[in-house]
Structure formats: C-alpha cells, structure tokens
C-alpha cells in the first residue's frame, strides 16, 4: 500500500482508546425505500449496535436528475419508523460532514486529481452505444459491460482536467484496472470473494462527462474520509467492492471491512427496486403493517 499523497484531506483517525466500530447507512434519495433497503439497513444498524459502534447517515444525492429532497425527507422518516437510529449525519451533523454527497464535491475532485497524477486514469470518449457494441457482455446482475479498452492506450494530455472547459467531446475518465490482477476479500456475510480485474469488471468510470464523480469514486472517498470500519450493503454491490478496493489501494487509503446482505425479491423472484411501489415502506405502513410485521 502506498502512503497517501496529494491534497486529499482526510481527518486523522482517533488513535487512542479501543478500536471503534463505525458503520454507515448510505441511501440514495431517488425514490421511496422498500423492504430490501429496510432489511439491509436493519442489518447495518444491528451490527453497529452489537459492537457498540457509531452509525453514520450519508445521503448519496449525486445524481441530480434522479434525486429529490422530498425523498430524503421520506427516507429519514421511514427509517425512524422502522426503529433505526444513527449518531452522525442526517440532522445530527458530526465531525466528518457535510454528510450529503452533493456538498462534498471538492473532496472527490482532489481524489480524482490524485488518481490522474498517479497515472491511474485515461480519458474515454466512447459513446455508450460504441461500448455496448464492442464490449463483452456484462456479468449477470452487474450494472455495466466490460470496457473493451478502445481509449485505454491513448496518451492523456498533461494538465488536462475534467472540467467543463475541456474541448468537445467531453470525456469520461476511467480507472485503468490492472488486467489479470485478482482482488480477494473475506466478506462478513458472504465469505471469501475473488474477482479478476479485466475479466469480472473492466476499466470503470471515476469522473463522468457531465463533470460529476462516479458512485465508485464518491463512495470510496467518503467511506475513507468518514473512517468507516465496516461497510454493510446489498449483495448487488459485491463486484463494486472489488473496484473500490483498487481505488483504496491507488489512493493509499486503508479499506474497511465489508458485509453484503442478501437481496430481497418479489413473489416472482425479481429483485426489489424502487418501481415496486407496493412494497415501499410507505405503502406497507399505510396498509396497516407494523415494523414488526415487516422485519420480525
């Protein structure tokens, strides 16, 4: 692991006293929370409590086109309704704020610059269609096709930045994954995991052509900056954990532990999504269900 470099300001961890557990809830306010979110967040809550830890509420509102303040309000209420409490973030504030990603852009930009200077990134002007046509098919359940490498070997211009003042077409900046490298970790719920860079996932976007950081970059920077010691989230993000571990390494951050929860499916075995309105916590509550009915 290389030591941290660059100007990414991460507040120092408390080094005295016993090790502290720090977990987080990281909802995206793009719709109403459903039963699947409730189960995952309940597990995160329980693991933090069992370890006498601190739970952080972080609002992941980077996707300006889909996030709405009313969904933030609703999710905070719904999580309180099922009995969850957190000690930092939300309305509590805390030492590692701000706790909404939309207010943390300078941190992400610093991390981006650090990665770019370290030679980890390349600018990619491929369209989504071009990638889909030439890419290997995505793994079932994964969100993105494996990048075919079209722009990987193009030299990046020194001093080039991801700002909107770049000449058109604007680029997506991708992380150059170390092809063939195996990323292994022991998941706290799913056991040993193993992914091969370039085979299980490809060069992934860290900065988008609309001048916003990607989920992978923002979540890594935040979990490191907020000193999260264990990330609890849905199983659909297992492969993203492998991507994020590469970012931790490239940025010189100490990675947390990970625990991925099984996904909740509907009566047809389809993974719950925000379109399952009838299984939203709100709809279930309005139909007279209690938190005990839902979560036992």
> Binding of ligand GLU at residue 260 (CB under 6 A)?
no
> Binding of ligand GLU at residue 23 (CB under 6 A)?
no
The least distance separating ligand GLU from the CB of residue 28, rounded to whole angstroms, comes to 4
The least distance separating ligand GLU from the CB of residue 218, rounded to whole angstroms, comes to 9
The least distance separating ligand GLU from the CB of residue 84, rounded to whole angstroms, comes to 15
Q: Of these, 233, 239, 260, 276, which contacts ligand GLU (CB under 6 A)?
A: 233
To which residue do tokens 């292994």 refer? 184
Rounded distance between C-alpha atoms, residue 115 and residue 127, angstroms: 23
Residues 78-97 that bind ligand GLU (CB under 6 A): none
The least distance separating ligand GLU from the CB of residue 151, rounded to whole angstroms, comes to 27
Rounded distance between C-alpha atoms, residue 185 and residue 258, angstroms: 8
Catalytic residue numbers read 274
Task: Give the total of residues touching ligand GLU (CB under 6 A).
Answer: 7
> Binding of ligand GLU at residue 33 (CB under 6 A)?
no
The CB density around residue 66, as the number of other CB atoms within 10 Å, is: 13
Dihedral sign for Cα atoms in the order 24, 28, 32, 33: negative
Stretch that binds ligand GLU, among 21-29, 135-143, 204-212, 270-278 (CB under 6 A): 21-29
> Binding of ligand GLU at residue 60 (CB under 6 A)?
yes
The least distance separating ligand GLU from the CB of residue 215, rounded to whole angstroms, comes to 7
Q: Of these, 131, 219, 250, 284, which contacts ligand GLU (CB under 6 A)?
A: 219
- How many helices and strands, by DSSP H and E, does the chain display? 8, 10
Helix, strand, coil percentages in the chain from 3-state DSSP, rounded to 5: 30, 20, 50
Q: Of these, 10, 26, 123, 251, which contacts ligand GLU (CB under 6 A)?
A: 26
In the chain, the N- to C-terminal Cα span, in Å, equals 43
Number of residues assigned to the chain? 296
Copy the structure tokens of residue 216. 């992978």
Rounded distance between C-alpha atoms, residue 10 and residue 96, angstroms: 9
Binding-site ranges for ligand GLU (CB under 6 A):
26-28, 60, 219, 233, 237
């Amino acid at each position: 692991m290389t030591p941290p470099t660059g100007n990414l300001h991460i507040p120092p961890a408390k080094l005295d006293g016993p090790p502290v557990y720090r977990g987080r809830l990281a909802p995206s306010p793009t719709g109403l929370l459903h039963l699947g979110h409730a189960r995952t967040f309940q597990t995160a809550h329980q693991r933090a409590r069992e370890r006498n830890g601190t739970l952080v509420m972080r609002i992941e509102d980077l996707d300006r086109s889909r996030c709405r303040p009313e969904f933030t309000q609703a999710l905070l209420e719904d999580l309180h309704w099922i009995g969850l409490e957190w000690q930092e973030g939300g309305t509590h504030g805390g030492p590692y704020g701000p706790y909404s990603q939309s207010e943390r852009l300078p941190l992400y930009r610093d991390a981006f610059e650090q990665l770019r200077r370290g030679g980890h990134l390349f600018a990619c002007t491929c369209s989504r269609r071009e990638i889909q046509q030439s890419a290997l098919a995505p793994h079932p359940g994964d969100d993105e096709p494996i990048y075919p490498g079209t722009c990987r070997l193009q030299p990046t211009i020194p001093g080039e930045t991801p700002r909107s003042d770049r000449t058109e077409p604007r680029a997506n900046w991708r992380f150059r994954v170390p092809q063939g490298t195996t990323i292994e970790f022991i998941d706290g719920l799913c056991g040993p995991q193993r992914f091969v860079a370039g085979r299980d996932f490809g060069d992934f976007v860290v900065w988008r052509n609309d001048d916003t950081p990607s989920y992978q970059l923002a979540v890594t920077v935040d979990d490191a900056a907020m000193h999260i010691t264990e990330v609890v989230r849905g199983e659909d993000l297992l492969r993203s954990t492998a991507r994020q571990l590469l970012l931790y390494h490239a940025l010189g951050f100490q990675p947390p532990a990970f625990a991925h929860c099984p996904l909740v499916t509907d009566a047809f075995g389809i993974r719950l999504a925000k379109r399952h309105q009838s299984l939203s916590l709100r709809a279930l509550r309005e139909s007279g269900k209690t938190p005990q009915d839902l979560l036992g």
